Each structure stands twice: as structure tokens, then as C-alpha cells.
Amino acid sequence: MDSIRIRGGAELKGQIPIAGAKNACLALMPATLLSEEPLTLTNAPRLSDIRTMTQLLQSLGVEVSSLAGGKVLALSSHGLTSTRADYDIVRKMRASNLVLGPLLAREGHAVVSLPGGCAIGARPMDIHIDALTALGAEIDLRDGYLHAKAPRGLRGTRVPLRFASVGATENLLMAATLAKGTTVIENAAREPEIVDLALCLSRMGARIEGAGTSTITVEGVDRLGGATHSVVVDRIELGTYMLAPALTGGEVECLGGRIDLVGAFAEKLQAAGIEVEETEKGIRTRRANGQRPRAVDVVTEPFPGFPTDLQAQMMAMLCTADGVSILEERIFENRFMHAPELMRMGARIEVHGGTARVTGVERLRGAPVMATDLRASVSLILAGLAAEGETVVSRVYHLDRGYEHVEEKLRAVGADIERVTA
């Protein structure tokens, strides 16, 4: 099993290219199920989650070709052979549930296993089920599978979501494109990945208004066509690398970065004394006057608030900040599993339920640590960059789900980091 070895203390300087967004691409790929015509995705990230979604779509009869070294995905659903998403594939990744809405819309029936993924909370499917039921679907849970059918077809209606779930918004948005009549999604998720999906669907012929706001209106059409679409930049990878020089010193320019994708996060960085500058090519960050970061309080919220997927990385920085910071996790329960591992490196953290109190120390110490989920894994790498001595992060298969060539990107800006295969 692979691990990542880091020898901390090196300042970082240079440029890091930011890949296409994992969470956007995982929603865009199932959109191919809505049409018999080809869908081509450019700027696709090269990640294990993308390979898992590829396997799932291929099991349904979708033709998927990986081009340009994996950065272009050519998909065609002209000849579906199945509407059953089996447990053996779905258990690997929660985003697998995003085939449910498109299959119901196009084929009128689907059998989809309950999904798996990182162990960061329950993340139940009931919001998805309630939303699709509102469109006329009949869904039963039997033997760990959702058995869904729409015997009279899907019909547009007003659908208020009780929580602004990204996945439920995406499933409902795709299903509504082929429903009869008009669907109004209230309390919709506003994340950039939703906007990117709506843009792609519109290029395929969907009629969508309001993506990026809390109310999305979809006028159903009889059929969708093909399209070519570039995947939006990954705001979580962007935020992760924006943090790197905040822990190590130096400065890093994140190529392709956009402030509108990370506004609330960038504001917290600036409050902590980190300079954030837009450039012609992206975003540059560095410590103000080379000083140690200042403590700040963080509350995770749905977009446009501070992203839960950057909480672990932010905690790593605050472990070295001057003062006491309070982090409150409001999106997922059980998402402070990285805290005990950071404490092995000398961090001072107290966790009480959904709140963590972090008292910054001047220097972390290298130690063997274990990744517990995707974002926790990269937070430990960030901490290792700032620590004295050697840090070895094990179980980095989590990392490969969401970060493309992380060791190469960090090594290119001066980090002493390598992947070790046991």
C-alpha cells in the first residue's frame, strides 16, 4: 500500500496548475445517460473516482473513451444495456447515486445500490428519494438497492428541498430536463458544480434558469442532444494549494484559479494574514510580511460559505497560527477524524461534537500518521510540509480519489515529498 513521505521545512515557490473539478466531473459524466448523442468532457481530472464512475457507466452500456492522457472523456449512451447500478461498483463512491435521476428520466426505471464513499457522516439518500418522488417516481428500498420506476413518466412540479443538498440538486436537475412540464427546485444548492452541470445540460438542449441561485427552474424537453463541455476548475484543489505557502512560507501561484470559486475561503485566509492576489494566470498566495498566520474562527456552510471540503486543510494551517481558533463543522458529522492525527504531530486540538478548538503552536513535528478520508489525507500532507523532520502519511488511496499527482505538483514548487510503495 502506498504512502507519502514528506521532509518538512522547505519554503515553496512557483506555479501549480489546478485540475478540473472532481465533483463537477462526477455529475457531468452521468449526464450522458440523458441523450443518445455523444458528450465530450474536456479538462477532466485524472483520478480514481473518475475511473470508478467510468466503470459504472460502462456497466450500463455507455461507451467511454479516455483521450489526451485522460484529460478528455468521450461518452456515448446510444446503446444502453442495463439500468442496474450494482453494489460492487457503487459502494466505492457516493457520487454513483447520480445515475438514478438520468436513468429514471430516460428509461423510466432504475435499480441503484445505496452508495459508499468516505466515512464522514451518514449523508442519507432520503432527500434524493423525496425529490424524485415529487416528480412522479415510485421508489422502494429492498436488499440495499433503490428500485425506482416512473410508470407514467416524470412530471414537473415545485420541489422544495429541506436541505440544500448538492447531490440531490444534481439528481433532480438532470431528471427534470426530460420531465413533462416545468420543475421549480427551491432551496437548491448553489455550488459552482451545479452551475457547471446546468451549463453543460443547456449545451445539450436543456432549458434551465437560475443555476447558482436558490431557485432553479427547468422546463422539460422531449430530448437532449450531444455537446462538448470543459469541466470547471476544482475549487477544493485550488484552496488546498492556496494554503500551502501559508504553512511553509514562500509564494505559490495557482494556475487557472478564480476568486469567485473560493470567495469565503479567500476572505478567511486574508483575515489570517495571508495575501491573496489575482493574477493574469490565476491566484497567488503568500504570508503577509513573512509572518506566521493569525488565528481565525471558521464555520462551514453551503456555498457561498466556507466549504466543508476545505475544513481539514484549514485546520492544518491553524495548528501553526498565532492564537486560538474555533472551527465549527455544520455540514457533516464525524468530520474531525484528522484531528487525532494532527495531534500526533504536536498540534493542540480539542474536539467537542461539531466544534474544534485549535491552539496554534510555532512548529509541528514530523510523525507517522494515517489518512482517514480524502480531505484529511491532504491536510496531513500540508501539515508535514510545515513540520520539523519526516512525516509519513499512510492509506493515501483516499488521496488519489481527489488529487491529481499531488506529490509531483508539490515537488515542482520545492517540497521534499515522495510516494513510497510498500
Residues identified as active-site: 118
Contact in structure between 207 and 178 (CB atoms under 8 Å):
no
Return the C-alpha cell found at 36.
443518445
* Grid-cell match 493569525, residue found: 294
Residue 309 assigned as binding residue:
yes
94 is in an annotated binding site: yes
Can you tell me the distance from the alpha carbon of 158 to that of 308, in angstroms, rounded to the nearest whole number?
28
Sign of CA dihedral 332, 337, 342, 348: positive
Determine the Cα–Cα distance for residues 27 and 199; give it in Å rounded to an integer.
12
Helix, strand counts (H, E) of the chain: 13, 24
- Strand intervals (E) in 125-214: 138-142, 145-149, 158-160, 182-186, 207-209
CA angle 266, 385, 250 (to 5 degrees): 55
> Which alpha helices (DSSP H) does 61-114 contain, by range?
87-90, 100-107
Map grid coordinates 499512510 to a residue: 394
Q: Which three cell numbers stand for residue 222?
A: 422531449
Largest Cα separation within the chain, whole Å, is 65
Binding residues: 22-23, 94, 309, 331
Binding residues for UDP-N-acetyl-alpha-D-glucosamine: 94, 309, 331
Binding residues for phosphoenolpyruvate: 22-23
